[in-house]
Structure 1
């Protein structure tokens, strides 16, 4: 194939790929979900934790210290009251951004309930969608 012909074909292929409609969340090379638009697409608490929270709070909720301090969520007594993590997710706190602005009330409740029942936390009183709506 001559170079004169290769260039137009490459441009056509790039244009065709760019024109494809994106209708669902995409996945990166590591398999992490990339949400579309300004809202997270994950539905379950575990999916939300894995794709939104885990980068800072780590895979087992152990937290981290480095460029910033990311508190441990594992065995965290601050999670005893469901209102606390709902507030922090919706409104942010110190270095924690208000990621709840990019979640529905259902998603916030799901991730809070996941945090409160995993990582050595055993809080049985579930946060409801109405709790989140009231805190928003």
Structure 2
């Protein structure tokens, strides 16, 4: 599409109450000589969201599952392994539910119980301790 085709779309007002209407009014306010610090433009918001996403990208669970998590962050490594273990248990539970052989169902349920016990007794307390270590500096910085 050419710029002349897009001109009517750009000049029309968005529906009231929509995100575009809020962004448009913010842009109009800033464009009319308003205080830039009082209102953020769409570009400012997108830039800030992008920066936040990049900062916390290493904690994305979907990326941790597929990737080999070998880094300096023990919380991310343990979280990735716990998440993978839970996913395996869910898959085993689905397989046990569809299985016709009762002996196989019993064996799968036993594996699920063992994995659940390991998660509850070992992995989750470790994860809680590591999370507390990560949060403690943030809390102390906020209380100052």
Note whether the superposition's TM-score is higher than 0.5. Answer: no
Of Structure 1 and Structure 2, the greater strand share is in 1
Of Structure 1 and Structure 2, the greater helix share is in 2
Higher relative contact order (CA 8 A, sep 6+): 1
Which one has the largest radius of gyration?
A: 2
TM-score (norm 1): 0.30
